[in-house]
Amino acid sequence: MSNKRVYIAYTGGTIGMKHSSKGFVPEAGYFTEQVNKLPELAYPEMPSIFVNEYECLIDSSNITPEDWYKISEDIKAHYDDFDGFIVLHGTDTMAYTASALSFMLEDLSKPVIVTGSQIPWSQMRTDARENLITSLLLASQYDIPEVTLYFHNRLYRGNRTRKVDANGFHAFQSPNFPALVKVGSQINVNQEIILKDPSKPLKINKISPPKVVVLSLFPGFSADMLEAVLNSGIQGLVLMTYGMGNAPCNDAQFLKLLTNANESGIIIVNCTQCLKGSVDMSSYETGQELLKAGVISGFDMTPEATLTKLSYLLSSDCSKETIKQKMQVSLRGELSSNLPEAD
């Protein structure tokens, strides 16, 4: 029998809901009871488990940085007693949580897998059972010391994921980075791209409620709207631009506002609206004007990773210049390997 132990933090989400007259709702104790009765747990390769069902189950649309910190502290409190950790979570903000935890759990040396389901455990056609069973195997039998997201036969680096389908089982993708593990009749692990065990004690970083805004450009975007956002007391702006990081270059007020914001200490990060690809502000005049205004590149980071990384760094005691530098290098594998690595 396996002597591995896996800790399951059941935070809420569709996976544990039960049908009622009001639709699907969480019911205290129901999901924990069902998991502990899983016949698959009797297989010799399966770990022993402990389920911590949170007292107030969270709809993922209500998730906050305080909840991320609670999850991080929960993992830290049980870190020495378990071989791996699973965070059961709603799908709507799962990519945000997986990204945030990757920055909050510093020097992670054990697997932390975020997963959930599109259909509740209580339903006949649920995807919950496969997602949980495979996550248990991966968390206990494989050396993957990073925050990951498992869904529908793929284990992804958490800070590379995006939810791309509201209904389908293949709800998540990692557009700019390959899957760490592909699961079929065999479990195929891409060892070359997995982060290395730092062999350091786990450290928890807190993300304060972010004063960061994500703003998406569109044809006809008014500089007055940008001014209103920049004057709202924010510390950072994730600017979702076109293509390879392009924005209007014929709007002097728009560019002046960005320049002034940068000079006042607001950190502005350029992210592409495209699902796949990387920002390269040197290719076109429209991108070069952003560079001149002090906008920094988000390269191929997802918006979720960019937002949580910037919030994490703004919650630290780093200077503005250090934050800008760290935003443009890889801290937890959130940037592609052909881009600069952090010291």
Q: Is the pLDDT of residue 234 over 70?
A: yes
The dihedral sign for the CA sequence 36, 39, 41, 42: positive
pLDDT tier, 28 (very low <50, low <70, confident <90, very high otherwise): confident
Q: Is the pLDDT of residue 343 over 50?
A: no
* Nearest one of 266, 335, 252 to 294, comparing CA atoms: 266
Do 210 and 65 form a contact (C-beta atoms < 8 A)?
yes
pLDDT tier, 283 (very low <50, low <70, confident <90, very high otherwise): confident
Q: What are phi and psi of 17, to 5 degrees?
A: -80, 160
Per-residue pLDDT tens digits for 270-280: 999 999 999 99
pLDDT tier, 50 (very low <50, low <70, confident <90, very high otherwise): very high
- Do residue 67 and residue 144 come from a single domain? yes
- Do residue 168 and residue 235 come from a single domain? no
- Do residue 148 and residue 226 come from a single domain? no
How much is the pLDDT for 185?
Answer: 96
Burial per residue of 89-98, b for 16 or more beta-carbon CB atoms within 10 angstroms, e otherwise: bbbbbbbbbb
Q: What separation in angstroms does the CA of 268 have from each of 37, 68, 328?
A: 50, 24, 12
Q: Is the pLDDT of residue 338 over 80?
A: no
- Beta strands 84-88 and 5-10 are parallel
- Do residue 200 and residue 265 come from a single domain? no
pLDDT tier, 224 (very low <50, low <70, confident <90, very high otherwise): very high
Name the residue range of residue 318's domain: 212-327
- Which residues are marked as active site? 14
Q: What are phi and psi of 154, to 5 degrees?
A: -135, 135
- Do residue 219 and residue 195 come from a single domain? no
Which residue type, as a one-letter code, is found at position 278? S
Per-residue pLDDT tens digits for 291-305: 999 999 999 999 999
* Number of domains making up the chain: 2
- Do residue 108 and residue 240 come from a single domain? no
- Do residue 41 and residue 83 come from a single domain? yes
Task: Taking residues 167-194, report their average pLDDT.
Answer: 97
User: What pTM, to 2 d.p., does this model score?
Assistant: 0.95
Q: Is the pLDDT of residue 2 over 80?
A: no
pLDDT tier, 339 (very low <50, low <70, confident <90, very high otherwise): low
